[in-house]
Amino acid sequence: MSKKKQVIWDGNVRDAALTILLTVDKSQAYSNLLLHQTIEKYKIDAKDRGLLTELTYGTLQHKLTLDYYLEPFIRGKVDIWVRWLLRMSLYQMQYLTRIPAHAAVNEAVEIAKRRGHKGIASMVNGILRSILREGVRSTDLIEDANERLAVETSHPQWLVDRWVESYGYDKTREMLLENNIAPLQTVRVNTTKATVEQVLTTLEREGVKARRSEYIPECLHLESGQAARTGAFRNGLITIQDESSMLPAKVLNPQPGMKVLDMCAAPGGKTTHLAEVMRNEGSILATDLHPKKLDLIEENVARLGLDIIETAPLDGRKAASFLQKEDYDAILVDAPCSGLGVMRRKPDIKYTKREEDLESLQTIQLSILNNAVQLLKQDGRLVYSTCTVDRSENEGTVQAFLKEHPEMNLVPIENLPTQLEAKQQDGMLQVFPQDIGSDGFFVAAFVKKGASN
């Protein structure tokens, strides 16, 4: 048995990354949250933040590929922390050209000495130096195409099989490769406070390089700097949000003065976008199952200076029992989902999701949609969205919903970026990560039949 000790930040980036990776593995914690907490708690400077993020995300993103490479060199069972140390070190050797391979090996040996003993350090040294001499084996040795694709891109094979069956091999391959690319940070301009040009000027003064998106007018792409550390963020001029997450508010397109319901609202990114689209005129009720999460919405609302949003703890599956029927002009159901579209920023999802997890989600989503229908006015608009890529979960839910509710019409999606208009099919839009360099996302729009129908 090796001797382990609790490691805290002592200036060693690799040790900190290893601690995060072990915690993700043992506790199934979200890597993005752990990384953020580590950086904030220990006030890690910009240079070390970059390497810490690269080592954590990179090792997670390529975990299965690294295991395939390591397998011929490992004899017998090794402790879990040693395996993660080998993965992280091999990631540096295979993917990071700016770090000399011998430096990665030396750092790994030193960590093995501190966390274990000389015997483990010797084993780590032997494995990594053998790889340096012999190289890693080719994935061409894998005969099955889906299995090879799964190993090459480090995705579970059940998911690769599922996506290939739904979307074809080529589109799936593009998606898997895109999932391993670090996302560019995007922000949404609060158009009730400033124009896009004004925010660009403000960010430039703060030393942040940003550019307009070519898809959504109020979206900016940040090429340097951290949005959360800017005055523009603190003063409520911007919200950090992935570009595809801006689609639901654009598609629902509520008008100023309307009464709107956001049924799964936390942490409030889409709720506040709705208020900005409405020019802060009208009313929005933002509900969520978890009362503590409503605090996040209220923090965002206060920071952005929006005053038409009220919050309430409410289970969307029971909402029609507590709210007035047919009282809302427009409703957004950004439903709890499998989250298979956000693997770029949460790579650990690839290894924690199970195929059987997906089956129960449609029941929850349909229950929330069933309540939304009762609360929607005649001729009112309903938008259903998820941050996942799964034909059965997304399109299957839409078809089951329409079958149960003949009073709802699936309608062509309006107000889309021009580049996405042609991609919608039968009133539904599946955005793949490779389409606009965003998270994978799904959106569908409905209108409730009424006097005009």
pTM of the predicted structure, to 2 decimals: 0.90
Which positions are annotated as active-site residues? 387
- CA-nearest of 217, 221, 448, 242 to 325 is 448
User: Per mean pLDDT, which range of 34-43, 139-148, 293-302, 427-436 is the poorest?
Assistant: 34-43
Q: Is 57 exposed, middle or buried (0-12, 13-18, 19+ CB in 10 A)?
A: buried
Q: What is the mean pLDDT of residues 66-82?
A: 95
Q: What is the mean pLDDT of residues 237-260?
A: 97
pLDDT, tens digit (0-9, with 9 covering 90-100), for 330-388: 999 999 999 999 999 889 889 988 888 888 899 999 999 999 999 999 999 999 999 99
The pLDDT value given to residue 3 = 45
Determine contact, residues 243/435, Cβ cutoff 8 Å. no
